[in-house]
Amino acid sequence: MKVIVRLGDSLWYYSQIFGVPLQLMIDSNRKVNAQELEIGSKINIPGFIIKNYNIKQGDTLWKLARKRNLLPDALFILNQGIDPENLQVGQEIYLPSRVTMPIINAKQNYDYQTLISDLKQLQEIYPFLRETSIGNSVLGAKIPEIRIGRGKKKVHLNGSFHANEWITTAVIMKFMNEYLLSLTNMGSIRGFYMDPFYYECTLSIVPMLNPDGVDLVLNGPPNEEPYRSSVVEINKGSLDFKDWKANIRGIDLNNQFPANWEIEKERKEPKSPAPRDYPGDAPLTEPEAIAITQLTKKRDFNRVLAFHTQGKEIYWGYEGAEPREAEPIVREFARVSGYRAVRYIDSHAGYKDWFIQEYKRPGYTIELGEGVNPLPLSQFDEIYQQSLGIFLASMYM
């Protein structure tokens, strides 16, 4: 929601009349001089939307404000130029409406267009979040990163490395919406007030690393050639792509990282592009893998969590390069989720492997849910509750 600055207005004053933390107000208006607002300029008020309202018999701005637990000036700001002493029945005014419920529906077939649409809505209501593109997919889709918070601790979450594991994106997006909602309403999640999290942690989220692959699984082959023909050929003529994990070129993104990549290349059965497991002709050939690698180097994360499906397991550690602090963190993840912590597995060339190898910091692969990929939406609620504690612990540990 945007308001027009009047003489004497300040971000502190807006935070008081709308009941929004001052820091969120400041972070929602990074391009303005917070110390001296320019009269007539527009200011973002996070956590609110504007609704049209037609005056009814007996209405006053004071009564309408009281019904919404707001100070009257919250309505005066939105209705500058209206004479509050001479409201007419049927007259249209603007009312600020606090957003108190999640605005996105994550429990659905969550494709790339759904992601982009939901991010646009979240950006409008919660302008203190920062959204950038970390690069493009093979087909040119922008891969968004969202950052929330001001803390020194830098935590990274990502989902949908693998195309048929798209439910990870939906789970991450649901958490992000609830986190944003709790910040503007000064609320809690599982008894934790989120305000301290915002100050102590900067959360980086790449909800969908493999948008081309996700859309292939959910929506079928793309219109673009040669990819439309090639994915059908790679899939042995079938138009059922439910088993597809790779990107649109048939390269498994989580086998693309320079952490003993040669071992995976030698022993992986596919020797050419395939629906899954083909690591490519060299590490970091694919734009999606390059993008997440460059982001990781740029942001210098303290820890990373890559969400996959399935197995109800948390993989941690790599070749003994993990720091001592990685173990108590993963034990807390296991406690709050009920998942099993597994230190070493016979696997290389993954994102968390490369991160631990390069930075000697905690990295985790979380295998959400149990069954056959793609996991059905009937598991969504259970998976979300299991993962919610991991999301929170990743920020407070």
As a three-state string, the secondary structure of 234-269 is: HCCCCCCCCCCCCCCCCCCHHHCCCCCHHHHHHHCC
175 lies in the same domain as 290: yes
202 lies in the same domain as 124: yes
pLDDT of residue 18: 96
Print the domain residue range for 53. Answer: 2-98
Boundary (domain end) residue, out of 38, 64, 98: 98
pLDDT of residue 26: 98
| Contact by Cβ (8 Å): 221, 227 | yes
CATH assignment of the domain containing 157: 3.40.630.10
Does 236 reside within a domain? no
pLDDT of residue 279: 97
- Say how many domains are in the chain: 2
pLDDT of residue 263: 96
Count of Cβ atoms closer than 10 Å to residue 4 Cβ: 13
Per the annotation, the verdict on 367 as an active-site residue is: yes
Boundary (domain end) residue, out of 39, 68, 98: 98
209 lies in the same domain as 311: yes
Does 262 reside within a domain? no
67 lies in the same domain as 122: no
89 lies in the same domain as 133: no
Does 209 reside within a domain? yes
Q: Which residues of the chain have pLDDT under 70?
A: none
Chain centre distance of CA 297: 19
375 lies in the same domain as 289: yes
Catalytic residue (choose from 264, 313, 367, 370) = 367
pLDDT of residue 77: 96
Boundary (domain end) residue, out of 98, 124, 144: 98
Does 227 reside within a domain? no
